[in-house]
Amino acid sequence: MSILKNKTILTIILVSALLLPNVCFADLRLNLEYPEFGGYKLEEDTNINEIIAWLYYFIISISGISAFAMLVKGGFMWLSSAGNPSALGEAKDIITSAILGLILILASFLILQVINPELTTLKIEELQSLKN
């Protein structure tokens, strides 16, 4: 009898959990505002070229912010090392890695801009439908 009661309660909970969104009549559309990166803004009518360009500038921005955060972390570790050689060495490694990462990020962007500025802008032709 106890097993039947447990199964009944579990079934009622499961069915109510599945039907609850239908009862609420929730508006499932998301009204999101994405930030603008590199002059590109994501909207409903954004084409694939602009989405990829936005992602490129977004990744460059996030990489720069994370390199800055690692520089701050390394500087804080350096200040709080109190002369401990192992902590000082770890802080120097973090700062060196952050600076090298920042140089790599900026160099990749600069190289693409120097070689050909059109490499950072995508131009994908619209797909044409085949008519029989």
pLDDT along the chain (132 residues), means of 10: 78 77 58 76 78 84 91 94 90 94 87 78 59 56
Contact criterion met (CB below 8 Å) for 64 and 105: yes
Residue 80 is inside which H or E element, if any? none
Domain region containing 81: 34-120
pTM of the predicted structure, to 2 decimals: 0.61
Residue 112 lies in a domain: yes
Burial class (CB in 10 A: 0-12, 13-18, 19+), 54: buried
Residue 84 lies in a domain: yes
Question: What Rg, from alpha-carbon coordinates, does the chain have?
Answer: 27
Helix axis angle, 85-115 to 48-79, nearest 10° = 150
Residue 5 lies in a domain: no
Q: How many other C-beta atoms are found inside a 10 Å radius of the C-beta of residue 90?
A: 15
Residue 13 lies in a domain: no
- The total domain count for the chain is 1
Residue 21 lies in a domain: no
Residue 101 lies in a domain: yes
Torsion of CA 56, 58, 61, 63, to 10 degrees: -80
User: Which residue type, as a one-letter code, is found at position 114?
Assistant: V
